[in-house]
Chains A and B, each alone.
Chain A
Amino acid sequence: MYAIETTDLTKRYGSTTAVEELDLAIPEGVVYGFLGPNGAGKTTTMRMLTTLTTPTEGSAAIAGHSIGSRDDVVDHIGYLPEEPPLYDELTGREQLDYIAGLRDVPAEQSDERIGSLLDRFDLAADADDRISTYSKGMKQKTGIIQALLHEPDVVFLDEPTSGLDPRAARTVRNTIAELVAGDTTVFLSTHILPVVAELANEVGVLYEGSLVAEGPPDALTERMETGEESTLEDVFLEVTGGQEDAAPEHE
């Protein structure tokens, strides 16, 4: 069984096609790096996979559960959107308690998990301050904790290291590595290519709604026939048609 499986997944808004016939088969316990330029359809794809948007055509399943049924899927997923979903008026601890309560995580478990994750992300000292006073990085870390609280099978992370200082970014990368070691699947959308290169087992590049490249990072970089040592950035620029703008030295 795949953690994420999609068949001809398509989303149209009127005459505009945001995502076209996307086929994915992502096994359990891997980090899938989801790349693409702005407007490629990454967020729409994540919204469809998290049941927040209904596909126009095609189908998808998360941990074997069809995305057609939100009730079936939500227990298996954690989602961190690009803007951390937090209430300014609550404290960090209250926010996490709220989400744990929504998911009906037993009180003792949620207490322990919240405490442990706050410690891991170096947020324990600030947990009783209001989120309105948090920095961008603190909000991002609270959002990540929130997505992991119920120990989901599949975690969707949209730019999880955005706005984090190097120490916090390292904590996130370590956390992702630990999650995968525990058989959690991480669907990682980011523009920070070194993070994908370091963590991802598989990479998919979305361009204008279509998957234009997919495979392990090493295999993708080997595919490049530039005659020089290539990187994931070179692959990204090549398949998304931006090589000449971003890398003038290769001209």
Chain B
Amino acid sequence: MSESGWLRHGLRIGVVEFRRTARGMRRHKGRLALLVLGVGGWSLMIAGLGVLFAEPLRSLDTPIALPAAARGAVALAWVFGVYIVGQRVLSQHSHVEGEAGMLTTVSARSIATGLVIAELFRASSYLLAPVLVVTGLVVSVFGTPLGLATIPLAAGLFALTAAVVGSGLGYAGALLVARSRFVARYKTIIGVAIMTVVFGGYAAVVFLVPGELGIGPALLAWLPVGWYVDLAAIGSPLTFSTSRVAGVLIATLAVLGVGGWAIERLTTALWFADPVEPTRDEADADDAASATATTTRTDTDTATRTDTGSTGGDGALTAALGRFEAMIPASASRPTRRVAAKALVRTWRNPSRLTILLTPVVIAVVSVFNAAQFGAALAVAPVAIVLLLPWLAGATFGLNPFGDEGAVLPATLTGGISGRAFVRGLALPGLVAGLPLTIVLTLAAGWFSPYSPLAVASLAVLGGVLVVAAVALAPVIGMRIPRFSTFSVRGSRDVVPPSITAGIVYTIVLVGPGVVAAVALVVPALLRGVLAALGSGLVPFVLRWLGDRGVPLVTVPAGWFEGLGPAIRGLATIEVRAVGYALPLFLLLVGGFIAYHAAARRFGTYEIT
């Protein structure tokens, strides 16, 4: 049952939730800067392209036929938006802050409405500027004032329906995790599978050469959500379909009606559900369900319990790893194995900790697919693997060791474990998983690449060295630049990601030498050209500029550098390859060794203030 005024209450909840998100963003200046840069850059790019092509667009013969690919592209973007919202709702926003208080104050419908509205506001913060730019461009280029109403309306309904459907799917997923022991236990694998299917399908439609395998954006033009482009085109020189405009408006009403109904039922079931306990055996299912009548139990529950638990204490943590136990070598010391097991178990059970790692994965995948458009995917893929997998091997477990410990940090620091054992424990999972995976996948991708067997083998060696360096570099950087604040603003299961500064420093010191070595191997001419340009162009320019402004002793070195360019250009390819490859490898190994000892020292002397 819902109270009268549920929509008003929902709006208020949505505004407050969004305000909390905005305030959270203001506290994290780095994330805010990235958002502003991303949205601003995107908007400026659209504006720039619009200004650049304004005249050619005006001179087109009108009316302009709206291609099926345009409708398909809009539908594809909508599907992508649904996935993003669904993933966010499932991992971060499936419960309202202060749930008990909220559920005893207003109806579940009000809260669900509020959460959907908040999600819509969050999406709007990304879409508003580009939509305004596109509206302004269309109106000014084609002189169609009706676009002032139709384009924002179409964009708003597009975002609203995506938010409703995405939220519905997110709540359905959260309910499955809460109700099904199987889903709760294997949610990481299921999540990765869904992500692979979605991104794989998206990439296939967007990036494959049109006509190849018969796949392309036009394939989705039949979906009514793609017809928002017809709604936006009203009054413009584009030929829109009246029946499609009617169709998309009806579809919108249907989505809002059915979606709203479903969300209310899903959230009611979710918020009042008895969650399953995924660590219990199936045989204990009934016990566990009754024991966890609420998510967090009361002390009275404990006092009346009888002892039915197992008594085996040794290795409980390692046993929790199941078949992944093999990832931890028995030759490691017991404290080291415990740290490694703890890192794996926590990551497995709370995979939202990996959210932050999606960014480089997306960048790498997009790079490969972008290269595919130029027929260079097979050449780029092994290099992307060599750089990405070691980055992940280090960052997954080691880039915020103190922040990851959270409230346990005092116990860990006074736990008797040595700094070396702790750092080895952090490095072990990344090393054991990352090393074979990087080498095997690099060799596999290299097999299909245009590179010689020697170059492929050298890339694999580079990947191995990068993994070793990554698992040693990440902990010391994370310990020097720790982050203790949480990623989202709600709940006790918040993620404490590495600091953005730590991520940037780690990327520069790891990927920088990696890129130099990889480029030296596969395109030595590019490395030679860049070094020569830097040597004889940029560096002397900066030095002379400083000299002109009175900085002493910089003009003479500028002359030396000017002579360096021709010398670099004169180097033989084999020399560029040998030095450009070997030097970064040497630096990575030495740097990794120093970083390992520095991290151990840092652990031993770290103070809580």
Looking at A94, A114, A146, A164, the one whose CB has the most chain B CB atoms below 10 A away is A94
Known: A125-B307, A168-B303. A94 touches B409 (CB 8 A): no
Residues of B within 8 A of A79 (CB): 410-411, 414
What's the least CB distance linking B70 to chain A, in Å? Answer: 46
Q: How far is the CA of A50 from the CA of B608 in the complex (A)?
A: 11
Which range contains the number of B residues in contact with the other chain? 35 or more
In the bound complex, CA of A157 to CA of B307 (Å): 27
Q: Which of B150-185 contact A (CB under 8 A)?
A: none
Contact status A86-B320, CB under 8 Å: no
B101 neighbours in A (Cβ, 8 Å): none
B607 near A88 (CB under 8 angstroms)? no
**Which of A20-28, A102-110, A190-198, A218-226 participates in binding chain B?**
A102-110
Interface members, chain B 35-70 (any A CB < 8 Å): none
Q: Which of B246-254, B311-319, B511-519 contacts A (4 or more CB under 8 A)?
A: B311-319
In this complex, what residue of B is CB-closest to A147?
B411
- The answer on a CB contact under 8 Å between A89 and B280 is no
Closest to A90 in B: B345
Q: Which residues of A contact B212 (CB under 8 A)?
A: none
Q: How far is the CA of A119 from the CA of B302 in the complex (A)?
A: 12
Q: Which residue of B lies closest to A47 (CB)?
A: B608
Complex alpha-carbon distance, A138 and B350, angstroms: 21
Query: A90 with B342: in contact, given A96-B313, A115-B311, A125-B306 (CB under 8 Å)?
Result: yes
B345 touches A101 (CB 8 A): no
Contact B298 A135 (CB under 8 A): yes
Most central of B295, B297, B316, B418 by chain A CB within 10 Å: B316
- Report the Cα distance A137→B305, complex, angstroms: 14
A136 to chain B, nearest CB (A): 7
Flag whether B309 is at the interface (Cβ < 8 A).
yes
Closest Cβ of chain A: how far from B64's Cβ, in Å? 56
Which residues on B sit within 8 Å (CB–CB) of A114?
Answer: 313
Q: Is A213 an interface residue (CB 8 A)?
A: no
In contact, B410 and A111 (Cβ under 8 angstroms): no
Per a CB cutoff under 8 Å, which of A74, A96, A113, A146 touches B416? Answer: A74
**Would A128 and B297 be within 8 Å (CB), given that A50-B410, A104-B335 are in contact?**
no
Which residues 282-313 of B sit at the A interface, judged by CB distance below 8 A? Answer: 288, 291-292, 295-303, 305-313
In chain A, positions 31-89 with a C-beta closer than 8 Å to chain B are 47, 50-54, 70-71, 73-75, 77, 79, 81, 83-89
**Residue from B310, B346, B415, B604 within 8 A of A102 (CB atoms):** B415
Contacts of A173 in B (CB 8 A): none
Give every chain A residue within 8 A of B316 (Cβ-Cβ).
91, 93-94, 96-97
Shortest CB distance B466–A (Å): 29
Q: Are A102 and B320 in contact (CB under 8 A)?
A: no
Chain A residue contacts of B308, Cβ below 8 A: 125
* A127 on the B face (CB < 8 A): yes
> In residues 119-159 of chain A, which contact B (Cβ within 8 Å)?
119, 122-130, 132-138, 146, 150
Q: Are B416 and A88 in contact, with the CB atoms below 8 A?
A: no
Chain B CB within 8 A of A250 CB: no
CB distance from B40 to the nearest CB of A (A): 37
A93 to B320 CA separation, bound complex (whole angstroms): 10
Count chain A residues whose beta carbon lies closer than 8 angstroms to a beta carbon of B: 68
Q: Please pick, from A85, A107, A138, the residue contacting B408 in the complex, using a CB distance under 8 A.
A: A85
A77 near B305: Cβ-Cβ < 8 Å: no
What per-residue 1/0 map shows which CB atoms of A180-211 lie under 8 Å from chain B? 00000000000000000000000000000000
Contacts of A165 in B (CB 8 A): 299-300, 303
Write the chain B residue with the least CB distance to A70.
B604
Type the 1/0 row for B589-609, where 1 means its CB is closer than 8 Å to any CB of A.
000000000000000110111
Which residue of B280, B301, B604 contacts A71 across the interface (Cβ within 8 Å)? B604
Measured between beta carbons, the chain B residues less than 8 angstroms from A239 are none
State whether A102 touches B313 (Cβ < 8 A). Answer: no
A103 to B414, CA, bound (A): 9
CA separation between A122 and B317, bound complex, in Å?
A: 21
Q: Which residues of B contact A87 (CB under 8 A)?
A: 342, 346, 406, 408
Closest CB of chain A to B559's CB: distance in Å? 49
User: When the two chains form the complex, which single residue of A70, A101, A113, A126 contacts B302, counting CB atoms closer than 8 Å?
Assistant: A126
- Judge whether A99 and B411 touch: CB under 8 Å: yes
- Cα distance A112–B310 in the bound complex, in angstroms: 12
How distant is B198 from chain A, measured CB to nearest CB, in Å? 26
Chain A residue numbers with a CB within 8 Å of B337 are 101
Chain B residues with CB under 8 A of A163: 299
Known: A125-B308, A129-B280. A138 touches B410 (CB 8 A): no
Nearest Cβ in chain B — how far from A100, in angstroms? Answer: 8
B339 touches A (CB below 8 Å): yes
- Neighbour of A127 across the interface among B309, B406, B418, CB < 8 A: B309
Residues of A near B279 (CB, < 8 A) are 91, 128-130
In the complex with contacts A129-B279, A129-B288, A138-B297, A81-B492 CB distance below 8 A = no
Give the contacting residue for B407; candidates A47, A86, A89, A91; CB below 8 A: A86
> Which residues of B lie under 8 Å from residue A104 when comparing CB positions?
333-335, 416-417
Q: Once bound together, how far apart are the Cα atoms of A79 and B416, in whole Å?
A: 12
- Give the chain A neighbours of B318 by CB distance below 8 A: 97
Interface string of A9-25 (1 = CB under 8 A from B): 00001000000000000
User: Does B413 sit within 8 A of A, measured CB to CB?
Assistant: yes
Given contacts A86-B407, A146-B411, whether A97 and B313 have CB atoms under 8 Å apart is yes
In contact, B307 and A70 (Cβ under 8 angstroms)? no
Distance of A145 Cα from B339 Cα, bound (Å):
19
Partner of A85 from B314, B335, B338, B410 at Cβ < 8 Å:
B410
In the assembled complex, 15 residue pairs joining A and B whose CB atoms fall closer than 8 Å, in A order, are A70-B604, A73-B414, A74-B414, A79-B410, A83-B407, A84-B407, A88-B350, A90-B320, A93-B313, A102-B417, A104-B416, A104-B417, A112-B313, A126-B291, A135-B297
Given contacts A87-B346, A126-B302, A165-B300, 16 further A-B contacts (CB under 8 A): A50-B414, A53-B607, A74-B415, A79-B414, A83-B407, A85-B407, A87-B406, A89-B350, A99-B415, A103-B335, A114-B313, A122-B305, A123-B302, A126-B309, A130-B349, A168-B303
Closest CB pairs A-B (n = 7): A101-B338, A114-B313, A85-B411, A137-B299, A111-B313, A102-B415, A107-B314
